[in-house]
Amino acid sequence: MVRYVTLLNFTDQGIRNVKQTIDRAKAFKAAADKLGATLKDLYWTQGRYDLVATIEVPDEQTGMSLLLALGSMGNVKSQTLRAFTSDEMKPILSKMP
């Protein structure tokens, strides 16, 4: 599985309709499930970002599709970080000269 940490901010539309944020999160989880992806964690946060999500997807194409679908709804803008576990880092580090 491919893991992402996604940092999200509400758009003007998203904050105007903030009372629906939990329902939108449930809809996003359902969309992820339908694609074989998993919304592992979702937190509403204070500070620079309004939400932080951790997502597991079967491949990068699925991740891209899921995040494009999320963005196209117009409620959030995202920054996505590819995340690696320590087991995934071992072969990466072993390739270093």
Average pLDDT, 10 consecutive residues per value, the chain (97 residues): 97 98 97 97 98 98 96 97 97 96
Contact 78, 5 (CB under 8 A): no
- Locate all alpha helices (DSSP H) within the chain, ordered by sequence: 12-16, 21-34, 60-72, 86-94
| pLDDT (0 to 100) of residue 29 | 97
Phi, psi of 46 (to 5 degrees): -105, 150
Cα 94 from Cα 71, distance rounded (Å): 36
**pTM for this prediction:** 0.91
pLDDT given for residue 36 in this prediction: 97
The CATH fold of domain 2-94: Alpha-Beta Plaits (3.30.70)
